[in-house]
A and B are shown apart, each in its own frame.
Chain A
Amino acid sequence: QVQLQQWGAGLLKPSETLSLTCSVYGGSFSGYSWTWIRQPPGKGLEWIGEISHRGSPNYNPSLKSRVTISKDMSKNQFSLKLSSVTAADTALYYCARGGSPAYWFDSWGQGTLVTVSS
């Protein structure tokens, strides 16, 4: 049973860079899409982007200029960086394992609440 464990800073100031990492335990990195999804407090889910084990990253156009998703297959980890954060980026951030091309997500990290405040 694959498990995802994520970590990163939870409190940022405006203009700083959000940085989160997700480790994958008990499963192969190959054959899946490794994805970041966020959920503003009390709101719905938003797809941030993904990276597959052999493909290029793919980002939500609304965030593309600020987002970088990378992977380290030697450590079974993938990471999210979001630059120039504002209060609008305050959200619960999840990493997830996705199926391709169907975009289902069967394993999720525990979530990291990132708050942007001056």
Chain B
Amino acid sequence: QSALTQPASVSGSPGQSITISCTGTSSDVGGYNYVSWYQQHPGKAPKLMIYEVSRRPSGLSFRFSGSKSGNTASLTIAGLQAEDEADYYCSSYRSSSTPLLFGGGTKLTVL
């Protein structure tokens, strides 16, 4: 099955805002509000940042926000900090025999 489409890399300077996109189809991203975002630092397990498109887990910084328009979901990080440098993955529920699909991942570089 094809992965959700994410840009391979994005970058930004400290204090700036960046947005990472995640494009799917009407059978996954566009059809359900079940998009999640994960942050993964090198050598670490992924960490849930956003779930159900725009909900933040308890205790997570308000600098992280999620949204969706049509078949594309987005993760926005405001006020970039050095520790935000990591890989970011989106995922979505889908109506198929494989109920979950991940994006290919986006490497965020803080300049």
Contacts and interface: CB of A to CB of B under 8 A. Distances in A.
Contacts of A111: 45
Interface residues of A, number: 20
Query: Top 5 nearest A-B pairs by Cβ distance?
Result: A104-B51, A108-B45, A45-B102, A47-B100, A104-B36
B105 interface: yes
Nearest to B96: A61
What interface size band does chain B fall in?
Answer: 20 to 34
Given A47-B101, A101-B93, A106-B51, 12 more contacts: A44-B103, A45-B89, A45-B91, A47-B100, A61-B97, A61-B98, A102-B93, A104-B48, A104-B51, A105-B38, A105-B46, A111-B45
Contacts, number: 59
Contacts of B103: 44
A103 B93 contact: yes
